[in-house]
Amino acid sequence: MSARPDAGHIAYLAVNGAIITFLLAPIAIITVFALNPTPYISFPPVGISLRWFEKFFSSPEFMGALWLSLQVAVVVLVLSMVIGGLCALALARGNIPGSRVLTAFFMSPLMLPAILTGLALFQLYLLLDIGRPVWGLIMGHTLVAVPYVLRTTLAVLHNFDRRIEEAAAVHGASPARVFFEVTLPLIRPGVFAGGIFAFIVSFDQFPISLFLVMPQGETLPVVLFNYMKFDLDGAIAAASMVSILMAVSVVVILEKVIGLKSYVKL
């Protein structure tokens, strides 16, 4: 854009400023409530205290939920990196007929209502009479996390020069050696970036968890939701801060590891 300051350009920037404020202000406002000591959400803030963080970190209910969410998210991270990474390789390098349709199929959990995935899994587990095991929850999360790994890994695979692999093969490397010494190092950033998304998607996952958690073993978003139905106090804000800080660090790590751009190549 030209730097010439005319009215149209100023309006353009002002509108965008307003939009960015709309995007970020709600997240910023949570900080205010997490630090405000009043018993209920009230504005303007009257001071600064850490009592809500204390309440959050000393509540067995919140801590149990946080711990469960973290454990589930770590397993989902590993599973979706392996499953999604392999799947991306097959789709990009396997010359599978109809791989475009297959890719769309593997991406579809992102667009299908997650609440239906939750309902469907709930009904399946009920029909099989297996109760609501934690691994069942993990598989549900993995299903919606795999597309993220698939997307970032495919983006990397589409960008890198296939002739590098061919060169290695021509020089006598076995297919296994080509894979471990050429392909894997090249796609690693894509798989990692996808894995980081998978972690955060699982950590924040709500609609599937809603159906699949046990009353005594709820994940953090479900506990927060149930708490919010009755009470809006700073403990929720403190819990939210924890999850926002996690998201922000993820964004920063992603930008460092792979650059956010590769994720955005939709």
Partner 1 sequence: MADLSAPALSVPAAPVLSPRRPAVSAIAWAVGPALLLFVVFFILPFGVMALLSVLTGNPAIQSGVTFTAQHYERFFEDSLYFEALVATLRIGAITTVASLVIGYPLAHLMARTHSRIGHALLLMAVIAPMLTGIVVRTFAWMTLLQDRGVINTTLLSWGLISSPLKLMYNEFGTIVALVHIYVPFMVLTLTGVIGRIDERLEQAARSLGANRTRTFLEVTLPLSLPGILAGSLLVFALSISAYVTPFLMGGTDVLTLPMLIYQQVGASFNLGFAGALGVVLLAVSLIVIIAYNNVLGRFAGGEKMA
In the range 185-244, which residues lie near partner 1 by CB under 8 A?
A: 200, 203-204, 206-207, 210-211, 221, 224-225, 228-229, 232, 236-237, 239-240, 243-244
How does DSSP assign 36-91, residue by residue? Answer: --SSS--SS------HHHHHHHH-HHHHHHHHHHHHHHHHHHHHHHHHHHHHHHHH
84 binds partner 1, rule: CB under 8 A: yes
Cβ closer to partner 1: 48 or 96? 96
Structure tokens at 8: 């149209």
Cβ closer to partner 1: 139 or 186? 139
- In this structure, which amino acid lies at residue 157? L
112 binds partner 1, rule: CB under 8 A: yes
Provide the minimum distance between the beta carbon of 161 and partner 1 in the complex, in angstroms, as a whole number. 16
Cβ closer to partner 1: 50 or 113? 113
Indicate the length of the chain as a whole number: 266
Cβ closer to partner 1: 35 or 151? 151
- Report yes or no: 45 and 32 within 8 Å, Cβ to Cβ: yes
Tell me how many degrees the CA angle 77-108-266 measures, rounded to the nearest 5. 80
15 binds partner 1, rule: CB under 8 A: yes
Cβ closer to partner 1: 16 or 71? 16
Provide the minimum distance between the beta carbon of 171 and partner 1 in the complex, in angstroms, as a whole number. 19
**Of positions 10, 48, 50, 115, contacts partner 1 by CB under 8 A:** 115
Here the contacts of 36-45 (C-beta below 8 Å, separation 24 or greater) are 36/234, 36/237, 37/234, 38/234, 39/233, 40/232, 40/233, 41/232, 41/233, 41/234, 41/237
Provide the minimum distance between the beta carbon of 30 and partner 1 in the complex, in angstroms, as a whole number. 5
29 binds partner 1, rule: CB under 8 A: yes
**Of positions 35, 66, 76, 114, contacts partner 1 by CB under 8 A:** 114
User: Which residues lie closer than 8 Å to 92 by C-beta, 6 or more apart?
Assistant: 154, 157, 158
Provide the minimum distance between the beta carbon of 48 and partner 1 in the complex, in angstroms, as a whole number. 17
Applying the rule CB under 8 A, the residues between 144 and 183 that interact with partner 1 are 146, 150-151, 154-155, 158, 175
Cβ closer to partner 1: 84 or 195? 84
- Region near partner 1 per CB under 8 A, out of 21-29, 52-60, 70-78, 166-174: 21-29
Provide the minimum distance between the beta carbon of 220 and partner 1 in the complex, in angstroms, as a whole number. 8
Applying the rule CB under 8 A, the residues between 36 and 75 that interact with partner 1 are 40-44
Q: How far apart are CA 110 and CA 231, in angstroms?
A: 31
The pair phi, psi for residue 219, each rounded to 5°, is -80, 165
CB atoms within 10 A of CB 238: 22
184 binds partner 1, rule: CB under 8 A: no
Q: Which of 163, 164, 190 is nearest to 259 (CA)?
A: 190
Q: Which of 133, 259, 136 is nearest to 196 (CA)?
A: 259
